[in-house]
A and B are shown apart, each in its own frame.
Chain A
Amino acid sequence: MTTCTIAIVGGGTAGLSLATRLCELGIRDVVVLEREPEAGGVPRHCGHYPFGVREYKRLMKGPDYAARNVATARAAGVDIRTGTTVTALHPNARLSLATPEGLTELQAQRVVLCTGVRESSRAQRFLSGQRPLGILSTGALQSMVFLHHKRPFKRPVILGSELVSFSAIMTCGHMGIKPAAMIEENPEIFVRKFMRPFPAIKGIPLHTGVRDLRILGGKTVEAVTFTDASGQARHIDTDGVIVSGRFRPESALLHASHLRVDPATGGPEIDQFGRASDPAYFCTGNLLRPVETSSWCWHEAAETAARLVDDLANPIGDAPQIRLQAADPAIRFALPQRFTRTDRSGGMEHMQIRLNKPASGYLSLTQSDKTLWSDYLGSRPERRIFAPLSPLASTADTATVKVKLL
């Protein structure tokens, strides 16, 4: 068994940013374990703008940004091991690895999980219909187009209307693929207002509020059928379906481990320092929740570096914790899920909250019927929402804090 100071699982945006910053802060023996043949993560196959504006003060495409993150990490002294899959997490920062040379273990002082997010599959959405060839996530399409120069279809429909669904349109454009329609089951399109005319500009018919969606096809996709918002039955001939968005953290490792998972985010339960339920494990990047931008993950990971350095020098250990619970059907998730009562500073200052549907009211943090904080909120599911964690520092009670919308 080999050893290192910090083992980082996943060499995407977050893992590389974190590793670089750790080296800059003077930590030695920082190892990034990446299962793909190349590090860089999801941006490797996002062959479009805008990446890197805040990080490098330059407008970059995803692959260039990923390469820049890798080069910066290498220059800082990070040991990046590609083709290395972490296959199991054990208590006290011990990892099982599958490497090109065979199976091995790695003992670290701290492990940081940075395994990112992916889109949920057609099966996970219980989409009705047949299962022919040609049903892909945006990520798989991007990988085919940008990393392998392949074209899986010519006239697909896009299911979903999140930001990534717009990336799908751009990815199609790159290969001369012409989407036949964009289809959303929700009554409204899922991006900020200024982006909404985009499908129309690209000449792609948009259908929102559709019901009874079905995929038809024998060997390959032949059509999708649905009932549109006006109640009319629709049939669109197509040769592919891009099943986009509805992100879920890539948490296979986590689910099979001793660490606690938050069913709401699908990611790990963490405290304000990013520590998982085993304090030898930290987590950052999009593994925490669905979903943030690359830039957000880059900065979030860099902030995590300082917390790790602090914890290595002076472990926080098992201090008492307050449970933070999203107790409202309108709230999709809230994170961190735990607040550790300690006088140590440097943790996250805000909770990150997302809604299930457009909602308004008073967002509040309550503990045993006592309101610790509240503020007016009118928001939508695609927006970031924050609530301050500082009111928790001043309560002596360790009872659960409920996040509610009243």
Chain B
Amino acid sequence: MHSHFSDPFDVAIIGTGVVGCAMARRFTLDGARVVILEKAADVLDGASKANSAILHTGFDAPPGSLEQACIAAGYREYLDIHESLGLPLLKTGAMVLAWDADQLAQLDGLIAKAHKNGVMDVTLLTREQVLEREPHLADHVMGGFAVPGEYLIDPWASAHAYILQAMANGAELRRDCELLSGSFGNGHWTLETAQGTVQAKQVINCAGLYGDVVDQRLLGHADFQIKPRKGQFVVFDKPASELAQAVILPVPTKTTKGVVLFRTIFGNLAVGPTAEEQQSRTDASTDRDTLQDLRAKGIEMLPELANYEVTTVYAGLRPATEFQDYQISAHADQNYISVSGIRSTGLSAALGIARHVAGLNTSTGFARAPLTNPVCPPPDRLSNYHPRDWQEPNNGGIICHCELVTKREILAALEGPLPPRTLQGLKRRTRVCMGRCQGFYCTGPLSELTAGYLTPPLAEDCQ
């Protein structure tokens, strides 16, 4: 209804990674009429599909950087809104640990940096204090410091909630709708997409792993180049989560935050990520040797991990560029903002990035005044540390036994306001097939329950 030729949208957002989702929420709440164009069949199909799900304080970000500012603002806003959006938060805290003398020598500097970044509650810990807090750690640990404000969140539910809130307040999402080209004139953009023409006064490029491609398509050039950097993970069985309370971070190197041991909001314990530069923007392959290495690294830090089975493995791609900081630039003469290179902290920073970009916005006035009483979408119920549907009566029965996903939850996802169109999407919304059996028990019943909803389907009907 909004696509009437003479009635351009206030804002077109390209891409529904966590950044695009947060952007759609921000601009909708600020009163804009927003259209969101996503080339994939589902949201969160790019960089945002796989990360460590840590809500960072930004204690180790480069002081004075845009990244640091956005993380700090994003962190604050998440804490403000997560309850009203029904989003979980697991207050684990983190510890940065030194495993050799070299790393030990860097701790003071890192603490000073944290203080510069406004994260004042970090405290140095002796080896004994570290082991007292985390008794399962290998005893060759030499010391560390605590960052109490690093938390765990649900990486998918948060982004879903942002875009659902945008949609509930009038934003329009178009999936399978790749932006192909466009031109700017008469104060608005005319965008050609896989599903026809869209007009909008302002364009915000949140295309993540394709940030440079979209800049090229619309501006004719890009000031940076996306250099995908893969991170692989190994996820251990839920009982292993008792082995570490806090997120266990290493002393970072120049190129990476290093391999982290962290619980997940779903109750597992994971180790990763790696940092591997590659050409492909889509290939998130896992490699046996790398996974074995990661498992070994985990065991080196947490020896008892050797007794726990692996639940799953995965990999994600960071939209890194040749620059260290985020690549956010406004092209005021063309009503265009590129929000790119949101490399490895975008989940934490998304809400802050959206605020920053809203401040850069050049267009004059939106269709509406800022919303005073925006609608909230229904809450997420997937955290292992919060009540779940299987505990309620009349849930239709448990379909996925490992993650205790009910029939009612699956049907609610399939028929909800943001239906998944792929099995991956259904997994992110419900956690089916994400547990230790990886679909051994529930793929059969799921192939029947999801018939007609997913493309490609799990199986073809042979009744």
Contact = CB atoms under 8 A, between A and B. Distances in A.
Interface of A: 35, 37, 45, 83, 85, 87, 98, 100-103, 118-119, 121-124, 126-131, 133, 136-137, 139-140, 142-144, 147-152, 175, 214, 218-220, 248, 250, 252, 255-256, 261, 263, 266
| Chain B interface size range | 35 or more
A76 B239 CA distance: 38
B445 A143 contact: yes
Interface stretch (B15-23, B80-88, B152-160, B387-395): B387-395
Contact of A152 (B237, B286, B310, B459): B459
A140 B443 CA distance: 6
A119 B444 contact: no
Nearest to A255: B239
B123 interface: no
Contact of B288 (A118, A128, A130, A152): A128
A175 B391 contact: no
B440 A124 contact: no
Interface string B398-412: 100110100000000
A16 B284 CA distance: 44
Given A35-B398, A150-B461, A122 B438 contact: yes
Interface in B289-332: 291-292, 307-314
Secondary structure call for the B interface? loop
B439 A136 contact: yes
Contacts of B354: none
Given A144-B459, A152-B447, A218-B282, A124 B390 contact: no
A139 B440 contact: yes
Contacts of B463: 149
B404 to A, nearest CB: 7
A100 B288 CA distance: 41
Given A83-B397, A122-B438, A126-B291, A98 B285 contact: no
A195 B135 CA distance: 51
Which 7 A-B pairs rank lowest in CB-CB distance, beginning with the nearest? A143-B444, A121-B438, A150-B459, A140-B443, A102-B393, A152-B459, A123-B312
Interface of B: 237-239, 282-288, 291-292, 307-314, 390-394, 397-398, 401-402, 404, 422-423, 435-441, 443-445, 447-448, 456, 458-463
Contacts of A256: 238-239
B312 A121 contact: yes
Contacts of A129: 285-286
Nearest to A154: B460
A121 B393 contact: no
Secondary structure call for the A interface? mixed
B462 A137 contact: no
Contact of B440 (A121, A127, A149): A121
- Which of B313, B393, B440 gathers most chain A CB within 10 Å? B440
A212 to B, nearest CB: 9
A255 B458 contact: no
A102 B392 contact: yes
Given A150-B447, A152-B459, 11 more contacts: A118-B440, A124-B309, A126-B310, A127-B288, A129-B286, A136-B443, A143-B444, A148-B448, A150-B458, A151-B459, A266-B309
Contact of B462 (A124, A147, A149, A214): A149
B458 A133 contact: yes
A133 B423 contact: yes
- Which of A37, A255, A261 gathers most chain B CB within 10 Å? A255
A250 B437 contact: yes
20 contacts: A87-B404, A102-B393, A103-B391, A126-B288, A126-B313, A129-B285, A133-B423, A144-B447, A148-B445, A148-B448, A148-B459, A149-B461, A151-B460, A152-B447, A152-B458, A220-B456, A252-B237, A252-B401, A255-B237, A263-B307
B105 to A, nearest CB: 36
Nearest to A85: B398
Contacts of A220: 456
A98 B391 contact: yes
B332 to A, nearest CB: 39
B274 to A, nearest CB: 14
A96 to B, nearest CB: 10
Contacts of A124: 309-312, 438
Contact of A252 (B288, B402, B462): B402
B460 A150 contact: yes
Contacts of A85: 390, 398, 401, 404
Contacts of B461: 149-150
A101 B440 CA distance: 26
B112 to A, nearest CB: 40
B462 A118 contact: no
Contacts of B448: 148, 150
A101 B396 CA distance: 10
Contacts of B311: 123-124
A195 to B, nearest CB: 24
B381 to A, nearest CB: 15
- Which of B390, B435, B438 gathers most chain A CB within 10 Å? B438
A250 B239 CA distance: 14
A126 B393 contact: no
